[in-house]
Structure 1
């Protein structure tokens, strides 16, 4: 973490509406940074396509594009606010303070949820024996960013979004359930979120905070990391990361956990492989262990 950039964080304010969210099933945390057209599209999809009522909590970074004023006019949305961009880790942890349900969903503001996305997650949760799980929906992307995603182009921004075409076809893409949940949209029980301390601020503004969160869950005993194919969202693409000064999360992860994030996602989580049940302790090849030892020495020379 760049201490100089974050040693004087702006005060974070919040607003929880007076209405009770007791009837809500999930609390959906959405960090946003001057991305109003995408945020509006995202929230519209939640309102339109959710099978259950949910608490929506937006963290507004800056909000100088009209986001703050727009959110204030939405009575069904709770929010936290910072006058500067504090990144996703601080944003998510701030939004956590307003959570009123047992389940926390992390959703990017440039995502559009498809019909039934939440029902699939809820039905999976009801089948599980305990709260030690980490589930993810499956993203449809113009350019698939990983083996966890489905590649199909329905537009790269809300202005050119072919919404009707997506709604006609989103269920037609073949994809098996997969293992290795790390990226949003994901869901975790709030007691497990609190057990691991939420998102780690040493990864601010956010690069590599996703695999770090999964590793913290692993250390807490979670072995059920499942991506659900039938729960689908459309992901326009990372529209904020190109505007920020990125942290050196690759090296922070190595210093913290003694291995690269790719070692963790490949040998521990088997990310992107067909889901085959609860994960087991990994076998790390000797060559990979030596490579990680060398990487740790290199990482010690870098600061975030």
Structure 2
């Protein structure tokens, strides 16, 4: 491999999750092909997170006294970004060796910056969601039970083809394109359905490459922060904003989960669904008359 100039600024929002954050950053340090800028947004940080970050020379950070949510966190960190590409990563992830090199190779092959790439997740449990793509292999579901050595010995044997529908972290977009679409939409705070919303904004801009990289692997401990937060009704918010459901967007626009064979097509055909129209009307009533949304 030819050495490359660091091109990723990695943004990691965290919320009182210090053991996972430490493991995540340590994996970036030792398993990345190139040294990258690391930016952490510490929500509250009452578990010692801020004190720990201050003692790390290679981490830049912002913080808030209360949980600001994913959208505010990642948008705030944009001010510190120095690289041409932004990686958004969760704090409960562990990157496998050369995860970044595989992303870099794909970027070079594409030849322009109108894309969204995602690494392929390895997770300890299957998710009951037809739109979700991951390799199911249990190497532990918390930092205490994590079998790091076993993962490092076998991650290369866990095969996954490149796939369509990149939409969630670890995700990569160019800083230029991030700025054009305006980052993550804060109306989706604290963050439920902000991923498909961001992808839709990319689609509206003209991005047609939403590619998951099979050889870029990242272990995910699964929802160690989102389980603590009071969730927004992102499904209805997405439907009201874009007039289609996130599920329809994933299946018919992004071709979620299918093997990747090139850029997606513009002529998207959505089967007629009368129930979708009725759901949109109900969503409008909920958003207008329910002040909690």
| Smaller-chain TM-score bracket | over 0.9
Secondary structure of 2:196's counterpart equals helix
Mapping for residues 118-133 of structure 1, pairs under 5 Å: 118-133=100-115
Mapping for residues 232-271 of structure 1, pairs under 5 Å: 232-271=217-256
| Distance in 1 (alpha carbons) for counterparts of 2:126 and 2:61 | 31
Gaps of 5+ in 2: 288-292
Corresponding position of 2:176: 191
Aligned residues: 280
Mapping for residues 149-188 of structure 1, pairs under 5 Å: 149-188=134-173
| Distance in 1 (alpha carbons) for counterparts of 2:31 and 2:51 | 25
Corresponding position of 2:6: 24
Q: Is the 8 A contact 1:132 1:221 kept in 2?
A: yes
| Distance in 2 (alpha carbons) for counterparts of 1:70 and 1:228 | 32
Corresponding position of 2:290: none
Corresponding position of 2:202: 217
1:286 offset after TM fit, Å?
A: 1.5
1:292 offset after TM fit, Å?
A: 2.5
Corresponding position of 2:93: 111
| Distance in 2 (alpha carbons) for counterparts of 1:249 and 1:56 | 28
Instruction: Tell me whether 1:286 sits opposite 2:272 in the alignment.
Output: yes
Which of 16, 40, 43 is 2:22 aligned to? 40
Instruction: Tell me whether 1:301 sits opposite 2:278 in the alignment.
Output: no
1:74 offset after TM fit, Å?
A: 0.5
1:73 offset after TM fit, Å?
A: 0.6
1:53 offset after TM fit, Å?
A: 1.2
1:242 offset after TM fit, Å?
A: 1.3
Secondary structure of 2:60's counterpart equals strand
1:143 offset after TM fit, Å?
A: 1.1
| Distance in 2 (alpha carbons) for counterparts of 1:202 and 1:291 | 26
| Distance in 2 (alpha carbons) for counterparts of 1:32 and 1:118 | 21
| Distance in 2 (alpha carbons) for counterparts of 1:248 and 1:263 | 17
1:291 offset after TM fit, Å?
A: 3.0
